[in-house]
Amino acid sequence: DGGITQSPKYLFRKEGQNVTLSCEQNLNHDAMYWYRQDPGQGLRLIYYSQIVNDFQKGDIAEGYSVSREKKESFPLTVTSAQKNPTAFYLCASSITGTSGSGEQFFGPGTRLTVL
């Protein structure tokens, strides 16, 4: 069953703690992305990776870190330096290059709440 999965679905964190959100895909996509979604706002890009062992900052990377050790996995760590981490986090993946569909496929999301 192909797709992109995220875990956990809900996550609660105390202030000052780091937490890691999981994202896995079996679509054989080279590119993976992390977005943050806040009420009334669009999706804002945190980090993206177009190939294993390489990633770039998006528009709101401060307070976040990522790794891309495997093609299938792109975990996001929300560090204590992120001032307002409560949000809905979405992971996505896509093929790279200009041929074929440019669609990004989204995971079901993780809702992070800081207590």
The residues binding other proteins (CB under 8 A) are: 31, 33, 35, 40-45, 48, 50, 58-59, 90, 94, 96-98, 101-104, 106-109
Contact 38, 102 (CB under 8 A): no
* 80 vs 106, beta carbon nearer other proteins: 106
Omega prior to 39 cis, within 30 of 0: no
* 15 vs 54, beta carbon nearer other proteins: 54
Shortest Å, Cβ 26 to other proteins:
16
Q: What tokens does 25 get?
A: 């895909």
- Bridge partners of 32, per DSSP, are 49, 93
Shortest Å, Cβ 16 to other proteins:
28
Distance of CA 61 to the CA centre of its chain: 11
